[in-house]
Each structure stands twice: as structure tokens, then as C-alpha cells.
Amino acid sequence: MKTLPAWTMLALFLAGPLALLVRVSLCESGQGRGFYVPATWTLAAYCDIFTDPVTRGILLFSVLAGLGITVMTLMIAYSLALFIHGLDDQPRRYVLSLVVFPKLCNVLALIYGLQLLLPRGLIGVVLTEVYLLLPYAILLIVAGMGRIEKSLIDAARGLGASRRQTFMRVTLPLSWPGLLAATQLTLLWAMAAVLGPIFFGGPESTTLAVELQRQATEYNRWPRAAALAVLLMIVLTPILWMGSRETN
């Protein structure tokens, strides 16, 4: 009985909306007479998605762009996190403040500023998403490195380990939880990217999230938008499962 309120909240705010989303995806399109036709059942939205080469290309681009953004973000974030971890307490606080500082700005104002600096197209999309994700990835990795005591590194070096051996056998394994959390967050964000593709991309760099928004708000095709949302959840579920399995 103690967990009843928690299960009730979960059902109301998670399971209920998800069930409604799936139900709408199985309705017929309104065809200009409404968003969808209630009390109808059809797989037309899913058939349209999987038979449409444009949508398949959007799905492929979303996955490939998400992987590319994740790799680039983690490479930069891990390097900076290593540098920050090696600092003394006071300089580390200052540097972490600089890392978080861009998040104090309104995200739209930040995007408009980036539009003055970055080119439109795929490069702009990737660099924008990397810039938006870097602070989160750095903070997660730095937090994961908090368990690495400098005495362990000094001991490894004192026993004759090279810098590379010390990194591979001490630093990387102990920082793995933070790196995994950063990977999970970055993949989830990157594969569902919206801001970068909308402000910097074109038809060739449309993601599933952007196409979902267009189908719902511009074309009023709610069943197809709902089906795209279900497809996006299916793509992202293995990422969530990966993190929860590693935690357990």
C-alpha cells in the first residue's frame, strides 16, 4: 500500500499518455475533417512510414547523426574532464563554473548567437548539438572521475606503469560509470535532436523528432505523428535498457 501513490502517479503521467499515443497511431487520419477519426483501427500510419523512402532516410539519418554527435561529444568531453579532474579544488570549481555558464543563457538566444558563427547544413547541425551537450557530458564524466584518487594513479606510476597503462588500467575503468551515463544521455539527446536540425538543417538533415513535429503541427496528421513518436521510442529504448542493465 505504501507504493500505491507512486504506482498511481506512474500510471497517470507515464503509462496513460503512452497508451493514448499508441492508440492515436492506430487511428485513421482525419483527412482534413479533424486530427484523426476516433474509434477506428488501422496500421496505415505504420505502413506509410516503412514504405516511404523519405521517412526511412530520416530514420537512418537520425541514427547516424546521433552516433556521430555522441562520439564527437564524448571525445571532447572526456579530454576536458581529464584536465578538470587533474586540477586542484579551487581551480576546478572555477573551470566547472565556466562549463555550466552557457546554460544560464536562454537556449533560443544561444541558438541565434550560434547562427552568426556556424554554417547552415550538416556541419552546423552537428556542431550545435555538440555544443549544447558538452556541459552535461563533462559534468557526468567529472562526477564519475570523483572516485579516482590521485594516490591510485601515483601508485600505478610508482610501480612502473606508463601513462598509457595507467590510463587503461586505472583511470578508464574507474571513470566508466560516468562515461556510460554521459554516453546514454548524449545518445538520447542526439537521436531526438530538434533545435540543431530546425535552425541549421535542411531537408537532407531532418531528424525523426523534427519530422514528428511537422506532421503534428504543420500537416495535422496526428496518427502519423504518433506512429513516428512510437518509432522514436522504440529506437531509444535500447539506450535506456543499456544504462539500467549496467547500473544493475
Residue 228 near residue 21 (C-beta atoms within 8 A)? no
Number of domains in the chain: 1
Q: Rounded to an integer, what distance in angstroms lies between the CA atom of residue 191 and that of residue 62?
A: 5
pLDDT value of residue 70: 93
Question: Does pLDDT of 176 surpass 60?
Answer: yes
Is residue 204 included in any domain, yes or no? yes
On whether the CB atoms of residues 192 and 64 are closer than 8 A, the answer is: no
Please give the share of the chain, as a percent, with pLDDT higher than 70.
95
In this prediction, residues 117-141 reach a mean pLDDT of 91
pLDDT at position 78, please?
93
CATH number of residue 82's parent domain: 1.10.3720.10
Give me the pLDDT at residue 244, please.
Answer: 56
Domain range for 152: 56-229
The answer to whether position 25 is within a domain reads no
Looking at per-residue pLDDT, the higher value among 8 and 234 belongs to 234
Whether 78 is covered by a domain: the verdict is yes
pLDDT of 199-239, one tens digit each? 888 777 888 888 888 888 888 888 999 999 998 888 888 77
On the question of pLDDT at 112 being above 80, the answer is yes
Average pLDDT over residues 39-56: 88
Is residue 3 a part of any domain in this protein? no
Grid coordinates representing 228?
A: 513516428
- Inside any domain, residue 14: no
The answer to whether residue 48 sits within a structural domain is no
Q: What is the DSSP letter of 171?
A: I
Mean residue pLDDT across the chain:
84
Q: How far apart are CA 202 and CA 49, in angstroms?
A: 20
Check residue 239 and give its pLDDT: 74
Within-domain flag for 140: yes
CA nearest neighbour of 182 among 99, 112, 78: 78
Percentage of residues in the chain with pLDDT exceeding 90?
15
User: Residues 6 or more apart from 41 whose CB is under 8 A from it?
Assistant: 26, 27
pLDDT of 241 > 80? The answer is no
pTM for the model stands at: 0.82
pLDDT greater than 60 at residue 245 = no
**18 domain-assigned:** no
Q: Under DSSP, is residue 174 helix (H, G, I), strand (E, B) or coil?
A: helix
